[in-house]
Amino acid sequence: MADPSASQNQSDDYRYTQRVTVVVRWFLLAAWLFVLNYRGDRTGQVAILNTLGVMLGVVNGYVQWRLVRGWPVGRRHVIGLSLLDLAIISAGIGMTSRFDNSFFVFYYPALLGVGLVFPSRRASFAVFALTAVAYTVISIWLPPGVSYTAEEEKILFGRLASMLAVVVAGNLVTEIERKRRRAAVDGERAQAQRAMELQERAQKAELAAQEERNRIAREIHDGIAQSIYALNLNLETCAEIARNQPGPLAERLQRLVPLAKQTLLETRHYIYDLKPLLAGQNDLPTVVRNQCREFGTVSGIPVTVDIAGEAHPVPVPVASACYRVLQEALANVLKHARSSRVVVGLEIGPDKAILSVKDDGRGFDVATRPPGYGIENMRQRAEELGGSLRVESQSGHGTTVTMKLPLVEVTSGTHQGDDRR
């Protein structure tokens, strides 16, 4: 159950100063009770003073309990304790040997606490004035009193001056600490303001960059991509016509058709890239389906997509790596495999994602042929995220590329640009 005073304003929280004063008060109480009872008579006055000391110990223990529990220690606690300290010390002096009593030394730490915790300098000096008046009255009017013939008034004046110096010192310490805290708070606010301004600038810059990317994408789509598409159609038509007239021209046109398709596919990748994925508009299975559909449309190679597992969100670096590896693997199919069919598999489990790209093309001997730059780049992407990539292939039996990635948040950067193949 929460403490009802926990909602108190944190600016009225004196826990830091009270950690010190509570410990000091325990030592004062121990010294007080020892001096009071060591070789002392068991009079009623001593019993009363012992009772007052125990009361102060109970209140001090309550404040320490609040400190241990982490509850606020407000102004009412510290003021009440300080006033109780002074009241008990004054009562002890008044009930024993008054001016000749050495208990006056307990005033010093008590008044230091007043200077440290009272909310204003005026209040601190008011408490000092009341304490000084009480001690002066006890010292002068109660026996044995102050002996003017022995010039004991100088001793009284020195004690009062020392009490005032202690209060002033406490006030100065408190004022310095408050200024330091205000400076620290002002510095934190200024730093937060600068961070906010930098964040706003970064957001504006990102928005401007996004608008520029969209503009470039529209220009590519409406200009270069349409021209390449038209060129691709004309090349296919010319290659079909030249097929009935064998010769060097027909062979060259047949070689140009896959190159034109590859160029069109890469251009469309530049247009769409990762914007839907990074913006959170589509989940990974949807992006994989769209990418495979795009590849099938441009290349003319049918693609089958098998999705397994739960379609839950995956970390952006993992999704980005899947997108890029799939893009690279499909590009290799178009350039090298001479495949008639491609099967793309995506399995999303609770702790890992598995992406596979399988074609029925001509394949190659993995043992004798070193991996190219594209395969090494795919493997590097997987290893950067704590995953693995395996390439299985045989001459005449197609190729299978399988990547496994753990589904954990990754802080290391991933490649965002297109790869040279």
pLDDT of residue 14: 63
Res. 343: pLDDT tops 70: yes
Q: Is the peptide bond before 144 cis (omega within 30 degrees of 0)?
A: yes
In the predicted structure, residue 417 carries a pLDDT above the cut 90: no
Q: Which two tokens stand for residue 372?
A: 């190219």
Q: Are 85 and 25 in contact (CB under 8 A)?
A: yes
- The fraction of the chain above a pLDDT of 70, given in percent, is 76
Whether the pLDDT of residue 278 is over 70: the answer is no
Q: What is the pLDDT of residue 392?
A: 92
Phi, psi at 278, each rounded to 5°: -70, -25
pLDDT over threshold 80, residue 204? yes
The Cα–Cα gap between 174 and 116 comes to: 5
Over residues 1-58, the pLDDT tens digits come to 444 444 344 334 466 667 777 887 788 788 878 887 876 665 677 788 788 888 888 8
Question: Between the ranges 355-359, 369-373, 415-419, where is the mean pLDDT highest?
Answer: 355-359
pLDDT tens figures, 125-167: 999 999 999 999 999 999 888 988 888 899 999 999 999 998 8
Q: What is the mean pLDDT of the chain?
A: 79
Percent of the chain with pLDDT over 90: 17
Average pLDDT score over residue span 334-348: 88
Burial of 199 (0-12, 13-18, 19+ CB in 10 A): exposed
Beta bridge partners of 308: 347
Q: What is the pLDDT of residue 274?
A: 47
Instruction: Tell me the C-alpha distance between 81 and 89, whole Å.
Output: 12
Give pLDDT, residue 214. 67
Residue 275, pLDDT score: 54
Bridge partner list, 358: 343, 400
Long-range contacts of 97-101 (CB under 8 A, 24+ apart): 97/144, 98/138, 98/139, 98/142, 98/143, 98/144, 98/145, 99/138, 99/139, 99/140, 99/142, 99/144, 99/145, 99/146, 99/152, 99/156, 100/144
pLDDT in tens, 170-179: 888 888 878 8
Q: How confident is the model at residue 267 (pLDDT cuts 50, 70, 90)?
A: low
Helix (H, G, I), strand (E, B) or coil at 355: strand
Tell me how far apart the alpha carbons of residues 134 and 148 are, in angstroms, rounded to a whole number.
19
Range with the poorest average pLDDT among 50-54, 104-108, 272-276, 334-338? 272-276
Q: What is the pLDDT of residue 416?
A: 42
Of 58-62, 215-219, 263-267, which has the strongest mean pLDDT?
58-62
Residue 294 has pLDDT above 70, yes or no: yes
Q: Judging by DSSP bridges, how do beta strands 342-348 and 303-309 pair with one another?
A: parallel
Winning range, highest mean pLDDT, from 105-119, 218-232, 243-257, 406-420: 105-119
Range 336-351 average pLDDT: 89
Supply the DSSP symbol for 418. P
Q: For domain 281-421, give the fold.
A: Heat Shock Protein 90 (3.30.565)
Spacing of C-alpha 291 from chain mean position = 36
Q: Where are the domains of the chain?
A: 4-145, 281-421
pLDDT-based confidence at residue 220 (cuts at 50, 70, 90)? low
- Can you state the percent helix, strand and coil of the chain, rounding each to 5? 70, 10, 25
Give the pLDDT confidence score for residue 257 in this predicted structure. Answer: 67
Its pTM stands at 0.45
- In this prediction, residue 2 carries a pLDDT of 43
Band (pLDDT 50/70/90 cuts) for residue 415 is very low
